[in-house]
Amino acid sequence: MSRIETVGIVGAGQMGSGIAHVAALAGYSVLLYDISPDRIEKGIATINGNMARQVSHGKLSEGERQAALARIAPAPNLQDLAGCDLVIEAATEDESIKRKIFAQLCPVLNPEAILATNTSSISVTRLASATDRAERFIGIHFMNPVPVMKLVELVRGIATENETFETAKEFVTRLGKTTTVSEDFPAFIVNRILLPMINEAIYTLYEGVGTVEAIDTAMKLGANHPMGPLQLADFIGLDTCLSIMQVLHDGLSDSKYRPCPLLVKYVEAGWLGRKSGRGFYDYR
């Protein structure tokens, strides 16, 4: 058994609840934190529903589901994460929010604990500088939906120690995921490639080349993608898509990463995709 036994997750949204789900199934004790008890409850309800789906599809037994759920406890305060061996931050993709969390969290944690971020684009080295443990800080980037997607990107900051990297790799392997290592460049590997494709699909709509349905059907049937790029953008969250494009644009200073004005407009309208009920598709 690795030295990781108890895992804290900060953020009970779609990524945080997915990480809690797979960690509990792999036998870890999980503490799930968010800024309100309602959000934690909603996260646990999502896990419950997704595990029930796995039971009904024969991927999990009812006993395994119950045992995994029993390993997840709500953590209404950051102080509750004091005994964790590993804490994974899976909050909103906003650097100032992540920095605030680290400022409150670090004094609470055991000095030996590893702190990870699930950031999908922000520099791990820069985030590490907002903690008291750059050597024990690492990027562990999961894909959505976490219980289904097989990949996790590991991203070392400039100061990340080898032991931290090996411990994180062992943890992710025990979750049954495959790891790739990405250097600490904006948006790493997956989102460096995926998000410009999604942004281009939005330009294709913006310029009137095709309708939402035509663009998604073209990429599903013409390129064998499981979801069309606009459906995938709604699934990821349009605010997250915009944040990642902004990180690419700012970090690489190349106009090819300019966020499509239609994406900006949708986010300004509060049309954030599936989670807000409206994006390129209507979910209401």
Judged by CB under 6 A, which stretch of 72-80, 84-92, 187-195, 199-207 contacts ligand CAA? 187-195
Does position 126 bind ligand CAA by CB under 6 A?
A: no
Q: Strands 151-156, 137-142: parallel, antiparallel or unpaired by DSSP? A: antiparallel
Cis check: omega of the bond before 76, within 30 degrees of 0: no
Give the other-Cβ count within 10 Å of 136's Cβ: 23
Whether 83 has a binding-site annotation, put simply, is no
Whether 231 has a binding-site annotation, put simply, is no
x/- mask, ligand CAA, residues 38-77, rule CB under 6 A, reads ------------x--xx--x-x------------------
x/- mask, ligand CAA, residues 137-166, rule CB under 6 A, reads ------xxx-xxx-----------------
- Catalytic choice (17, 118, 141, 199): 141
Helix (H, G, I), strand (E, B) or coil at 246: helix
Strand order in the sheet with 6-10: 72-75, 29-33, 6-10, 86-89, 114-117, 137-142, 151-156, 178-182
Which backbone phi and psi does 191 adopt, to 5 degrees? -75, -20
Does position 220 bind ligand CAA by CB under 6 A?
A: no
- Give 176's DSSP letter: T
Q: Is 21 a catalytic residue?
A: no
Does position 125 bind ligand CAA by CB under 6 A?
A: no
Does position 243 bind ligand CAA by CB under 6 A?
A: no
Positions marked catalytic: 120, 141, 153, 191
